[in-house]
Structure 1
């Protein structure tokens, strides 16, 4: 099983990290601020089955510059297990960073991902129209990308599929009030579906209220398989194949 989005440096204990690394085939840990990008890379050096995506979350762009974006390219070229850019995007849920700055650094990271021919991990919260508008300017995404922890509209899902993205669902799809999210998940083609934990956030309903960890992805796997009317093993096979196709684990050499 593959967790396509976790924050290993934020997990509550070393025990949770070791258990998750032992149980899962691959984990993509995300670095999305000035400190976390380096922590993510260190995890890739410590564990054979951990890979990294590096970028800047929309809440973290208040004190970065274009040089920080250029530095992402250097880190990618010097670290063989960096396989994606992000998470990056737009978040209008809280008024933490100006919208114009969010858009500027979102565009810069899209341009970097396309230049490096890497998939891009997208964060979009209460920003469907602007996310679609910006992404459409750069489509198609030949190297693909992930709509991480998808929580948008049916329109956004369909639009980003057309652009070359995969749609990833986290533990919040199991929540009682997530009916709309479940209806959207049913419409995602199996060959473009991914699963993630976004740990330590969004623990699945069965363990809700506790810090999340990558090994909890199996709760989400069982839930989504039941939702789609297929076996957990079939869903795991499909989502793992999708993740490997997109992220190309074990397939990059240092440049």
Structure 2
């Protein structure tokens, strides 16, 4: 069976949390063996921690996402630092910078003020870090250059930046993770960008419950529909789940002109490497994988 690693998802999201056991089971049956589950605010870090305790396949990650910085408490950073120190198996994330329309009204200087210490903390604790970046790649690169390099790895999640910036990010220790967000991108541009990424820096993810793949070969997507808390007449929301990473794999492989099995092997190996930091719960799996 093809082995895959969902390098970035949100199984703690309230829209799918009650279905998480079923979603994990479905994904494991299809060869998705690990899930990097990213917290986004102080309110959900403990939920991610509990999921990690319950499921050996879940790699926890704690961070303050730029969309939620307005809700932070005065002790957010000390709480985050304590969480990470108490959980050596946890990565940092999701953190980031966003100048896109979904972040309109969120002061960018405030985003930087929250982002920079989290990035520094990841470096200091020698943990990989998952970074959200929308329309702010120049600023991100400048900040990373001032703090980096990052030997433990920076995961540029759902990367849709330019091909030209790939070498500079890679030089600092970045991995480039691809999801369904890639599919609306103009195909020629997407192909150029993908081919600029070194093979040992490619990751795959779902970003579920968001980024549902829209791909010509995905005839039977594994859908989750939000059915609770709907008012009369309100349409159901079609959501993503980790099993859909097989469609991300198919699409990225088609653009790279690679066999799916080869890309699956490369992306799984890369994910196992970046998430096998000291204290990680998948270190034993990596050691076992390398001895066979």
Question: Alpha-carbon deviation of 1:66?
Answer: 6.1
1:16 corresponds to = 23
Q: 1:25 Cα deviation (Å)? A: 0.9
Partner of residue 68, structure 2: 60
Q: Show CA shifts across 1:115-143 (max 9, x none).
A: 10111111110112111111111121121
Unaligned runs of 5+ in 2: 224-236, 285-292
Q: Which has the higher mean CA deviation after the structures are superposed, 11-20 or 151-160? A: 11-20
> Where do 5+ consecutive residues of structure 1 fail to align?
none
CA contact (8 A) 1:122 1:145 kept: yes
Give the Å deviation of 1:172: 2.3
Question: Match for residue 234 of structure 1?
Answer: 262
| CA distance 1:154–1:65, shift in 2 (3 Å) | farther
Of 83, 93, 101, the match for 1:75: 83
Aligned mates of 1:22, 1:38 — CA distance in 2: 27
Q: CA deviation at 1:188?
A: 0.7
TM-score if structure 2 supplies the norm length?
A: 0.80
Which of 5, 9, 13 is 2:8 aligned to?
5
Range with greater deviation from structure 2 (125-134 or 211-220):
125-134
How much does 1:229 deviate?
A: 1.7
Q: Does 1:197 align with 2:206?
A: yes
Note the C-alpha offset of 1:21.
4.3
Matched, 1:134 2:143: yes
How far has the Cα of 1:80 moved from its partner? 4.3
Counterpart secondary structure, 2:46: helix
1:46 aligned residue: 54
Q: Is contact 1:117-1:143 (8 Å) kept?
A: yes
Correspondent of 1:98 among 104, 107, 116: 107
Q: Report the equivalent of 2:283.
A: 251
Residue by residue over 1:80-124, the C-alpha shift from the partner in whole angstroms, topping out at 9 and shown as x without a partner, is 431x11111101113242111100111010111111011111111
Are the equivalent residues in 2 in contact too, given 1:122–1:147 (CA < 8 A)?
A: yes
Indicate the larger mover: 117-126 or 8-17: 8-17
In structure 2, how many angstroms separate the alpha carbons of the residues matched to 1:159 and 1:96? 30
Q: Whose helix proportion is higher, 1 or 2?
A: 1
